[in-house]
Homo-oligomer: A and B are copies of this chain.
Amino acid sequence: MTDLPDHNRQMVLRERPKGNVSDDNFELVTGPVPTAGAGELLLRNRWLSFDPAQRGWINDIRSYVPPVAIGEPMRAYGLGEVVTSDVEGISVGQLVHCKIDWQDYVVVDPSKDATFEAVPDGMSDPTLLLGVLGLTGLTAYFGMTEIGRPGEGDTVLVTAAAGATGSVAGQIARIKGASRVIGTAGAADKRAWVTDVAGFDDCLDHYDEKVRRKLFDAAPKGYNVIYDNVGGSLLDACIFNAAVKARIVLCGAISTGYRPEKPEVGLHFYQLLTTRSARMEGFLVSNYEDQYARARADLAGWVADGSLHHELDVLEGLENAPEGLRRLFAGKNLGKQALKLSA
């Protein structure tokens, strides 16, 4: 094993952030490359994936997963290249997707990571597994098809429509027969991408003070499906514009920063859910783990036939990992935020 490196860099959590993450919340430390044991792989990490849920993992509160501890490398998923393998069917040089964390090297036991998978032979672009065929694409798929359930005649609203999940969710609604698909996004270039590339019928500025009124003007009869990634006052404006029997999919709440403090902006229009017989429902993509294969086959088919457009927003270098997470909450990413680790 003459080609084994002699050190491993890790970006560890130094302190819990209060608001959006800053570089000071993390620290780049150097240590030995870990040693893989029986049934394990040593990976050289190649690509990191960024997801809003990661912000929640560094709050010191109980949630569906335990928080990252101070001094531990930041928890993350991504693509790694196999350096050594004691796992049948996995060869040196192969790319795999699993929990790799913010570091150069990682030891993985595939039998202990439910998210582990080898990149299929012949996959033209393995980074598809970071976004449209990865957790964000699957999240969009199950949230829209299992909870939103748009059908013919439905008007669908997707917030943060230029994001990795929102962009896919809206396009799935169209594929499933929705009559109109409307998005919201921030910057003008992102809104242009949502309509011109992703093919939404319209995309409103979700920072517009009159967004509630604009949402009404865009669909005076209300929205039958609302796929929300933003939360806060924008979600409240969405509820105000919900149609009778609307399904509101609570996917994320990027505007709240996933912070442990009680959010300042509460929902005020929830009573309208009663008079409109409407539903608001949250979910975790892992609820549908047993259906990932079917979902991914659908998603891959739509990518292949050109009906599903997607973007990868790429940073480079482990030292920029905090910036990757920060960009999500600053609304800077177009499509899936990823980071390519230096060779």
1/0 contact string of A252-276 vs chain B (CB within 8 Å): 1100101000110111111111111
- Judge whether A282 and B287 touch: CB under 8 Å: no
A218 at the interface (CB under 8 A from B): no
Q: When A281-B280, A283-B277 are in contact, do A268 and B271 touch as well, CB less than 8 Å?
A: no
Does B282 lie within 8 Å of A278, measured CB to CB?
Answer: yes
Tell whether A188 is near chain B: CB-to-CB under 8 Å.
no
A63 interface contact, C-beta 8 A:
yes
Q: Return chain B residues, CB-CB under 8 Å to A56.
A: 275
Distance of A228 Cα from B112 Cα, bound (Å): 41
Residue of B whose beta carbon sits closest to that of A284: B277
Query: A183 at interface (Cβ–Cβ under 8 A)?
Result: no
Closest chain B residue to A274, Cβ basis: B282
Q: Is the CB of B253 within 8 A of A63?
A: no
Contacts of A321 in B (CB 8 A): none
A284 touching B275 by the CB < 8 A rule? yes
Q: Which of A235-266 contact B (CB under 8 A)?
A: 235-236, 250-253, 256, 258, 262-263, 265-266
Beta-carbon contacts of A162-186 to B below 8 Å, as 1s and 0s?
A: 0000000000000000000000000
How far, in whole Å, are A223 and B231 apart by their CA atoms in the complex?
24
Closest to A64 in B: B275
Chain B, Cβ-Cβ closest to A259: B271
- Look across to chain B and name the residue whose beta carbon is closest to the beta carbon of A263: B268
Q: Any chain B CB within 8 A of the CB of A296? A: no
Query: Which residue on chain B has the smallest CB distance to residue A261?
Result: B268
- B275 touching A278 by the CB < 8 A rule? no
Q: Which of B64, B231, B272 is close to A270, meaning CB atoms less than 8 Å apart?
A: B231
- A-B CB contact pairs (8 Å), 20 listed: A56-B275, A64-B276, A236-B266, A250-B270, A252-B274, A253-B271, A263-B268, A265-B266, A266-B266, A267-B267, A273-B281, A274-B282, A274-B283, A275-B282, A277-B282, A277-B283, A277-B287, A279-B279, A279-B281, A280-B280
Known: A274-B282, A277-B283. 10 other contacts (CB 8 A): A56-B275, A63-B275, A251-B274, A252-B274, A253-B274, A256-B271, A263-B268, A267-B267, A270-B280, A272-B282
Residues on A close to B: CB < 8 A? 56, 63-64, 231, 235-236, 250-253, 256, 258, 262-263, 265-284, 287
